[in-house]
Amino acid sequence: MHKKRNSSDTDSTTDTPTKKFQVGGQAVIEGVMMRSPKSFTVAVRKSDGQIVIKKQPYIALTERFRFLKIPIIRGAVVLIESLYLGIKALSFSAEEAMDEENPETKTFGSKQEKKEGIFVTFWLILSLLMGFALALFIFFYLPLVLVELTGVKGGFLFNLIDGLIRITFFIIYIWAISLWKSMRRVFEYHGAEHKSIFTFEAGEELTPGNTKKYSTHHPGCGTSFLLIVMVISILVFMFLGRPHGISGRLTRLLFVPLIGGISYELTRLSRKKKNSKIVKILIAPGLWLQKITTKEPDEKQLEVAIAALKSALE
């Protein structure tokens, strides 16, 4: 049984797979978030087996403000926007996954639900901020300190070693969290998200039977994007030379939007030229990495991903 919760009214216009546009998604706690050009949807499987859907209209900033569509700049904007929507999706999924009440007797937007939502959102945002600070230290600052301990002086070699350490830390990190049972379920929903998107892109009907045959590894995945970001950061930082002192290390943060923008453009290009042999070679490491961050979903998880995508397309 599906119960849909709309945060505001939407058009009844239905987009079909024959129209050429991209959809994207993200795995959340016991569910999947999906985005289409006109809406943002989160579907969550509650403990009683019911799928609850929250949907709201959403037009990307790059569509609302055309000047933001300038190459490189649009990549930085998309990153910030994706982070914002990702937090909203996680907040909703955390509320629903932990909520043991009967959803039939609970009114969306009630005072009780709003209080619970504020509490959960506060702790979620706090956890994300702490996680971001820790990630900044482990994946950005610590590698620089370790390279300095080697005594390397040349800017080229310094930044190459720094980047390789960062990539190694990243791979170890995602492998370690994949051993966590709860995170493995998130990775299964990640696989369900990819399978449903592949089905949509192929123009097939969105059913569990159709989605099962597709791979859990998608070239447009955020995991692949993060790997591209790390490789591009090596090249960009090489132009900056060897950092000196704390201020020199922190100055590199100013170049993160540029790195994200370049990485975004390369990701867009790889999706357009996905049949090119050169592109297939370049995206292979990212697809390999998805063997860790995506797992084969069961039919119930596929149903959640399909529910989210269908709602986003309505």
The one-digit pLDDT tens for each residue of the chain (314 residues) are: 455 544 333 333 334 444 466 788 889 888 999 998 888 899 999 888 888 998 888 888 888 888 888 888 888 888 888 888 888 888 888 877 766 544 443 334 445 555 555 555 566 666 667 777 777 777 788 888 888 888 887 888 888 999 999 999 989 988 988 888 888 999 999 999 999 999 998 889 999 999 999 999 888 888 888 888 888 989 998 888 888 877 778 888 888 888 888 988 888 887 777 778 887 888 888 888 899 989 999 999 999 999 999 999 88
Rounded distance, CA 279 to CA 150, Å?
35
Contact between 24 and 16 under an 8 Å Cβ cutoff? The reply is: no
Q: What is the largest CA-CA distance in the chain?
A: 66
Percent helix / strand / coil, the chain, rounded to 5? 65, 10, 25
Rounded distance, CA 216 to CA 198, Å?
9
Q: How many CB atoms lie within 10 A of CB 295?
A: 21
For the entire predicted model, the pTM comes to 0.79
- The DSSP letter of residue 2 is E
Rounded distance, CA 221 to CA 228, Å?
11
